[in-house]
Amino acid sequence: MDRRDFLRLRFTPSATTAPAVRAAVESKKPMSRVAQAGFLPNVPLVTHLGRKVRFYDDLIYDRTVLFHFFMVECTDGICPTAIANLRKVQDLLGDRMNRDIFFYSITLQPQKDTPRVLKEYSDNFEIKPGWTFLTGKVADIEHLRRALGYAEADPEIDKDPANHIGMARYGSDRLNRWGAVSVRSTPENIASTFKWLTLS
């Protein structure tokens, strides 16, 4: 999948993602239209601080967020570049981070990237509050990846996590507004995407 394909998805299921987005979402909170459609599944995850959370209930519900997938053992350089870039975005957003904007980095290798590994990784980048690194069971991460539109149409390409794409989704659950941006875009450009996600 290239950048253009990903941008066209806009939470539109492909043949490979359809079963995942049809899966029932169990939530104790009123769900947004996108969540009701199954695109924000309420799977259990674990944060880099060891806290157990639910993707929709605890991380997405009523929030403005940015999320992407990555690997600690990234071989093509996309992931460390993306994390360093988003770290600059975090500074640009200032006190909006951890108040009304939240970042989530979800590992593609949960069997390797334990909470301890993710904590060490986030510490290396001096990540500030408002940005959470996430792992979980392999099946739950896979369900989440497909539901969020990060699946390749070709199953041979899709089964290799090294073929991940350097794109992030951002949006507001409250406003039902969603978009996508390259994690290798300028920090200023990424930060500017949040301007249209404010309540008027």
**1-44 per-position pLDDT tens digit:** 444 454 444 554 444 444 444 444 567 788 888 999 889 999 99
Q: Alpha-carbon distance 133 to 144, whole Å?
A: 14
User: Average pLDDT, stretch 56-82?
Assistant: 93
Convert the pLDDT of each residue in 169-178 to its tens digit. Answer: 999 999 999 9
Tell me what pLDDT residue 28 has: 78
User: In the structure encoding, which two tokens stand for residue 181, read together?
Assistant: 């941006």
Confidence grade of residue 165 (pLDDT, cut at 50, 70, 90): confident
Q: Among 14, 1, 65, 7, which Cα is nearest to 181's?
A: 7
CATH 3.40.30.10 fits domain 3-197: yes
Tell me what pLDDT residue 30 has: 87
Tell me what pLDDT residue 160 has: 67
The residue among 14 and 124 whose pLDDT is bigger is 124
Indicate the pTM of the whole model. Answer: 0.86
Mean pLDDT is highest, among 88-102, 151-165, 184-198, for: 88-102
SS3 54: strand
What per-residue string of b and e applies to 8-35 under the rule 16 or more CB within 10 Å gives b?
ebebebeeebeebbeeebebeeebbebb
